[in-house]
Amino acid sequence: MTMTKDEVFAKVREVLEEALGVDEDEVTPQATLGGDLGAESIDYLDIVFRLEKAFGIKISQAELMADNVLSDPQYVQDGKVTDLGMSELRKQLPHADLDAFDASRQVDEFPNIFTVESMVKFVQGKL
C-alpha cells in the first residue's frame, strides 16, 4: 500500500525525534537537520538505521548524503564545491534543494541542505 506524503512525514518526524532528542514541534518540513535540529555526523548514521527500520528499506549513507562527493578532490577545491561537484551533487541528491547552497558552495554549509522535507522526499523515492 502506498503511503501518503503526510504518513511518510509523520514517520520521518518520529525517527528524527528519537535520533536527535528533539520535540515534535521542532521537526517542521523546513527545519535543517544540522542547523536547526543539531544533528552531528554520527546522527546521520543513526537516522539511516532508523529510517531503514521504520520503512523497511535499505539505504546507503552515500545515496542519502552524497558524502563521497565532498571527500573527492576533483569536486572540492579550497573548501568550495566546484562546478563539476555541483553537477554531481544535483545528480546524486534529487531529493535535496541545492539552490541556496549553490550561491556559496562552502563545504561547511553543506549539512544545511538536508531539511526534514528532503528526508521525506528521499524516503518517498525509495518506497
Partner 1 sequence: MRWIWIDRILELERGRRCVTIKNVSAAEDVLHDHFPATDNRPAMPVMPNPLIIEGMAQTAGIMVGHAGDFKEKVILAKITKAVFTDAARPGYTIRHTAEMDNFSKAGASTHGKTELIDPNTGEAKPLAEITLMFSHIDHNMAGLEFPEHNFVFTGQLMEMLEASGFQSPG
Closer CB to partner 1, residue 51 or residue 120? 51
What CA–CA distances, in Å, run from 80 to 42, 70, 73, 86, 106? 23, 9, 10, 10, 5
Instruction: Determine the Cα–Cα distance for residues 113 and 97; give it in Å rounded to an integer.
Output: 6
- The reply to whether 45 sits near partner 1 by the rule CB under 8 A is yes
Contact call for residues 94 and 22 (beta carbons, < 8 A): no
Residues 51-90 touching partner 1, rule: CB under 8 A, are 52-53, 61, 65, 67, 70-71
Closer CB to partner 1, residue 26 or residue 46? 46
Closer CB to partner 1, residue 29 or residue 70? 70
Surface-to-core class of residue 42, CB atoms within 10 Å of its CB (0-12 exposed, 13-18 middle, 19+ buried): exposed
Of the candidates 19, 39, 37, which has an alpha carbon nearest to the alpha carbon of residue 28? 37
Please identify, among the stretches 8-16, 25-33, 45-53, 81-89, the one whose residues bind partner 1 according to the rule CB under 8 A.
45-53
Among 43, 63, 97, 109, binds partner 1 (CB under 8 A): 43
Among 8, 16, 33, 44, binds partner 1 (CB under 8 A): 44
Contact call for residues 48 and 15 (beta carbons, < 8 A): no
Binding site residues, partner 1, CB under 8 A: 19, 41-46, 48-49, 52-53, 61, 65, 67, 70-71
